């Protein structure tokens, strides 16, 4: 990941160091990092949940509701 400096934020927001102190800009950067972390985490979780509901759940429902009788299987295919 790339890093963002205090000067980068000041250039984008178009404020001077006299208007907004460095500590305040660093706090803004930290909040943005935390927000980005949670957004990525939720996106990954949502994608996995969608995959598990569409692919894994029907397969698991079938496997656990209709288990194969291994003895019959081995007798049929000897």
| pLDDT tens, residue by residue, 35-52 | 989 988 888 888 887 777
Cα–Cα–Cα angle for 10, 15, 16, nearest 5°? 90
**Using an 8 Å Cβ cutoff, are 39 and 49 in contact?**
no
Top pLDDT among 15 and 74 is at: 15
| pLDDT tens, residue by residue, 18-27 | 898 999 999 9
The whole-angstrom distance between residue 24's C-alpha and the CA centroid of its chain comes to 28
pLDDT score of 75 more than 80: no
Burial classification of residue 25, based on how many CB atoms lie within 10 Å of its CB (0-12 exposed, 13-18 middle, 19 or more buried) = buried
Q: Is the pTM of this model over 0.85?
A: no
Top pLDDT among 59 and 45 is at: 45
**Using an 8 Å Cβ cutoff, are 18 and 37 in contact?**
no
């Amino acid at each position: 990941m790339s890093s963002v400096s205090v000067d980068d934020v000041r250039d984008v927001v178009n404020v001077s160091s006299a208007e907004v102190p460095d500590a305040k800009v660093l706090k803004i950067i930290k909040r943005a990092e935390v927000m980005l972390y949670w957004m990525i985490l939720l996106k990954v979780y949502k994608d996995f949940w969608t995959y598990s509901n569409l692919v894994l759940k029907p397969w698991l429902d079938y496997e656990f509701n209709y288990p194969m009788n291994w003895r019959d299987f081995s007798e049929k295919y000897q």
